[in-house]
Each structure stands twice: as structure tokens, then as C-alpha cells.
């Protein structure tokens, strides 16, 4: 199959009640964060992930910022997290004056290497940030045991796992506090948006204050603490509610896409494909990632350029935190070596895998990848 059309790395799917709910926002004039869809979305989402509280925020980064601040992480504290993740997971740790402590990845699942966590714990360790990456969740039971043993808090970043489960329980239901993103490439999108969820009443109240400039109920413009304007609008929440209604079918579509790619790439010995399942989860294929085997004499950038020439959008894998220039300038992670994270960055990329991807586009991608690796 040949085509002159370009297949973007992500296209959202907006085919439910989004227009109806947005029109209701416009017709009623409720377009700000004060509108009724915000509470509706929070309540429905909390129920979906088996949580008592859900706090809607402006984006996924805001959710992590608020989660870190709500636990009063600051100077003198250490927080363990994976190096192979998006920079949002580390920014508030650094800004708060706390020290990020990195662990490497597992080469098969691409998630944080759980076996490295305990050796990184010191008397200063306050929390572990668990980040579920790309399609499979972190093996979280061992982390829960470690956290209990050392009295540590868990922040669970489930931004890429909306609709995924671990041993049958929803991702996002395990942390003391958990976070989600609703960016346009997520399984639920509000354009921009995020959610903080928890079962802790005090943490929930804390998060609600932090997203709303820490206004006080009886002294609105008198501030005893600094927060952010991280509120979600009624229109964003209206989109989110409509998307939540069709989440199960979205997950089914993602797994069908992953299955087609797996079947068509399994004979390409130069590629490490996503692990389809583990003992605790089936891959959800938030993105369909590929890692070049080390015997290839080219890197992911070379392959992405070739695929782009064939009309196929791609994205590189995350640049590890210990390789980020900003942190090097700040004196962090000097001489740190985390070989799996580095390999994933150098040899990993992902191909079109958005919910709006059509079947003929999937096979256009298949043909292009097979031509490159023929």
C-alpha cells in the first residue's frame, strides 16, 4: 500500500457526547472552573479508579506538582523515581529543594527496575514516585511492601495508564496519592488537563487548596501558603466526562492496534517489540514503542528520519533525567550511569498509535516499517 498522506503519531478520537456537553457549557454560560461538569467528572473518575477523592487540575504536570507539595516534600528530603520518564515527574522535587534519587529501567517492560529501589533508600528518603511507562504498569506490590517497611509515601503517576489494571485493580488506585494526565494523546483527553486522586481526606483538602491559590474559605484573599492556579475549566471537564463514558471501548481499540502491529513485526529480528503481557497485566499500548536491537548499526534517529520520509510520524523515547543538560548544570547526577535508560533513549522510538488511527493508516505504518527493515 502506498500513500501520499502523512500519518501523525497521535490523533485523538472525539466521537461521543463531547459536542453535546460542550454546547451545554456554552448555552448555560458555565465555562470556567465553577461549572457543574467539573464535579461530575471528578466523581465519575474517582469511581472508575476506586478512589474516594478526585481533584481535577489544569494538566498532568500540575497534578504531580500538587501531589509532591501536598506531601510537604522539601529541603533535606530524598525522593526515589525512575530516570527514564518525562521531566514533569522531577521538576517539583528539584524546585522544592528536595533531592531526586534515580533508578534504572527494566529492559523488558521499560518501567523502573523495582529491584534497585531498596538499595537507594536512606534515612532522608521520604517518598517513591512510581511511573507507569508506555503500556505496562510497574510491578507495584514489591514497592508497596518496601514503602510499608520504611514508612515511605508513594506518588503513583498513572498518566499513561488510564484504563489499565494491575492484578485486576485500576492503575492509579495504589499510591498514597496518584496522578493522571488528559493531554491529547491520552486515553481520555480534555486537550490539557489532569487529575489527582487519593483516599486521604486531609490530602484531598490540601490538594484542592493548592490548585486554587490556597484561598481560605473565610479569608479569601489572605494567604498562609502559596499554591497555584491549576484549576480545570468546565469545558475541559465536559470533554473528559464524554471521553470517560467510552473508555472501555478505547482500551479495546488500543489493544487491537497493538495486536496488529505485533503480528506484522514479529519476524523483524532487529526490533524489540513491546512486551505483550506480564503476570500482572496485559499491555494497553498507550504508545507502540520499538527498541532497536544493539546489533543494528543505526540509531532511532536514523530510523525516525527514514519513516518520516515515508509519511510516518514518530517520537523518540524519553531522554533520561540523568542526561538532561539542565540538571548537569545544577550539579545533579554527575557521573551517574544508568545503562538501560540510556539504551532506551538511544535506540527507542514509537510509531503512530493514537485512538484516532484508522485501520488503513495502521497498515500504511506497517508497510513503511517493514520497508525500512527489509
Which pLDDT value is given to residue 1?
Answer: 40
Please enumerate in sequence order all residues whose Cβ is within 8 A of that of 24, keeping only pairs 6 or more positions apart, or say none: 37, 238
Q: Are 112 and 133 part of one and the same domain? A: yes
Secondary structure of residue 55 in the 3-state scheme: strand
d(CA 33, CA 55): 12
Widest distance between CA atoms in the chain? 69
Which residues pair with residue 243 across a beta bridge? none
Q: Are 170 and 274 part of one and the same domain? A: no
C-alpha cell at 119: 538499595
- Domain CATH number, residue 231: 3.40.640.10
Q: Are 214 and 325 part of one and the same domain? A: no
CA 237 to chain CA mean position, Å: 19
**Range 63-99 burial, b when 16+ CB lie within 10 A, else e:** bbbbbbbbbebeeebbbbbbbbbbebbbbbbbebebb
Q: Are 229 and 253 part of one and the same domain? A: no
User: Residue 222: what are its φ and ψ, rounded to 5°?
Assistant: -110, 120
Final residue before a domain boundary, out of 245, 275, 296: 245
Final residue before a domain boundary, out of 186, 218, 245: 245
Half-sphere exposure of 13 (CA within 13 A, CB side): 20
Position 163 in a domain: yes
d(CA 57, CA 76): 28
Position 6 in a domain: no
Q: Are 310 and 363 part of one and the same domain? A: yes
Please check whether residue 324 is in contact with residue 94, taking contact to mean a CB–CB distance below 8 angstroms.
Answer: no
d(CA 374, CA 368): 10
Counted domains in the chain: 2
Position 105 in a domain: yes
d(CA 260, CA 264): 6
Q: What does each of the 374 residues of the chain score in pLDDT, given as a tens digit?
A: 444 699 999 999 999 999 999 999 999 999 999 999 999 999 999 999 999 999 999 999 999 999 999 999 999 999 999 999 999 999 999 999 999 999 999 999 999 999 999 999 999 999 999 999 999 999 999 999 999 999 999 999 999 999 999 999 999 999 999 999 999 999 999 999 999 999 999 999 999 999 999 998 888 899 989 999 999 999 999 999 999 999 999 999 999 999 999 999 999 999 999 999 999 999 999 999 999 998 888 889 999 999 999 999 999 999 999 999 999 999 999 999 999 999 999 999 999 999 999 999 999 999 999 999 98
Position 68 in a domain: yes
Position 359 in a domain: yes
Give the Cα-Cα-Cα angle 99, 66, 71 (nearest 5 degrees). Answer: 60
Q: Are 34 and 165 part of one and the same domain? A: yes
Position 292 in a domain: yes
d(CA 136, CA 143): 16
Which pLDDT value is given to residue 217?
Answer: 85
Which pLDDT value is given to residue 335?
Answer: 92
Q: Are 267 and 197 part of one and the same domain? A: no
DSSP state of 284: -
Position 219 in a domain: yes
pTM score of the predicted model: 0.95
Half-sphere exposure of 61 (CA within 13 A, CB side): 10
Position 273 in a domain: yes
Q: Are 229 and 257 part of one and the same domain? A: no
Which pLDDT value is given to residue 224?
Answer: 87
User: Residue 125: what are its φ and ψ, rounded to 5°?
Assistant: -65, 130
Please check whether residue 53 is in contact with residue 45, taking contact to mean a CB–CB distance below 8 angstroms.
Answer: no
Based on C-alpha coordinates, what's the Rg of the chain? 21
Which pLDDT value is given to residue 2?
Answer: 44
Q: Alpha helix (H) ranges present in the chain?
A: 18-28, 36-48, 60-70, 88-95, 141-150, 201-211, 234-245, 247-265, 300-309, 325-329, 339-347, 359-372
Q: Are 169 and 274 part of one and the same domain? A: no
C-alpha cell at 142: 514489591
d(CA 204, CA 197): 8
Give the Cα-Cα-Cα angle 186, 362, 372 (nearest 5 degrees). Answer: 110
Helix (H) or strand (E) holding 101: strand 99-103
Residue numbers of the domain that contains 354: 248-372
Final residue before a domain boundary, out of 217, 245, 273: 245
Which pLDDT value is given to residue 4?
Answer: 61
- Domain CATH number, residue 289: 3.90.1150.10
Which pLDDT value is given to residue 232?
Answer: 98
Q: Are 237 and 341 part of one and the same domain? A: no
CA 315 to chain CA mean position, Å: 15
Q: Are 38 and 142 part of one and the same domain? A: yes
Q: Are 171 and 23 part of one and the same domain? A: yes
User: Residue 194: what are its φ and ψ, rounded to 5°?
Assistant: -160, 175
Amino acid at each position: 500500500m502506498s500513500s501520499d498522506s502523512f500519518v501523525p503519531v497521535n490523533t485523538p478520537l472525539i466521537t461521543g457526547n463531547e459536542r453535546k456537553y460542550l454546547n451545554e457549557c456554552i448555552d448555560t454560560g458555565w465555562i470556567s472552573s465553577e461549572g457543574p461538569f467539573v464535579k461530575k467528572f471528578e466523581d465519575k473518575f474517582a469511581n472508575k479508579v476506586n478512589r474516594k477523592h478526585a481533584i481535577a487540575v489544569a494538566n498532568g504536570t500540575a497534578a504531580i506538582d500538587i501531589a509532591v507539595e501536598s506531601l510537604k516534600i522539601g529541603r533535606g528530603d530524598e525522593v526515589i523515581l525512575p530516570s527514564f520518564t518525562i521531566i514533569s515527574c522531577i521538576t517539583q522535587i528539584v524546585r522544592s529543594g528536595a533531592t531526586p534519587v534515580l533508578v534504572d529501567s527494566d529492559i523488558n517492560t521499560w518501567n523502573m527496575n523495582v529491584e534497585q529501589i531498596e538499595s537507594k533508600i536512606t534515612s532522608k528518603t521520604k517518598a517513591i514516585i512510581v511511573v507507569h511507562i508506555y503500556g505496562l504498569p510497574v510491578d507495584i506490590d514489591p514497592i508497596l511492601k518496601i514503602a510499608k517497611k520504611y514508612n515511605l509515601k508513594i506518588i503513583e503517576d498513572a498518566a499513561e495508564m488510564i484504563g489499565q489494571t494491575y492484578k485486576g485493580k485500576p492503575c492509579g488506585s495504589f499510591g498514597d496519592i496518584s496522578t493522571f494526565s488528559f493531554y491529547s494523546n491520552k486515553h481520555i483527553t480534555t486537550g490539557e488537563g489532569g487529575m489527582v486522586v487519593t483516599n486521604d481526606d486531609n490530602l484531598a483538602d490540601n490538594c484542592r487548596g493548592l490548585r486554587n491559590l490556597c484561598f481560605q474559605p473565610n479569608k479569601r484573599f489572605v494567604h498562609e501558603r502559596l499554591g497555584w492556579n491549576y484549576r480545570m475549566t468546565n469545558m475541559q471537564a465536559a470533554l473528559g466526562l464524554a471521553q470517560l463514558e467510552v473508555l472501555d471501548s478505547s482500551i479495546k481499540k488500543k489493544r487491537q492496534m497493538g495486536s496488529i502491529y505485533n503480528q506484522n513485526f514479529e519476524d523483524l529480528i532487529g526490533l524489540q517489540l513491546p512486551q505483550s503481557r506480564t503476570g500482572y497485566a496485559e499491555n494497553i499500548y498507550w504508545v507502540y514503542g520499538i527498541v532497536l536491537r544493539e546489533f543494528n548499526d543505526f540509531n532511532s534517529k536514523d530510523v525516525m528520519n527514514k519513516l518520516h520520509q515515508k509519511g510516518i510520524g514518530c517520537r523518540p523515547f524519553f531522554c533520561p533525567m540523568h542526561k538532561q543538560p539542565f540538571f548537569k548544570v545544577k550539579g545533579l547526577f554527575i557521573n551517574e550511569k544508568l545503562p538501560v535508560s540510556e539504551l532506551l533513549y538511544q535506540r527507542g522510538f514509537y510509531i503512530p498509535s493514537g485512538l484516532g488511527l484508522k485501520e488503513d493508516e495502521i497498515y500504511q505504518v506497517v508497510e513503511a516499517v517493514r520497508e525500512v527493515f527489509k
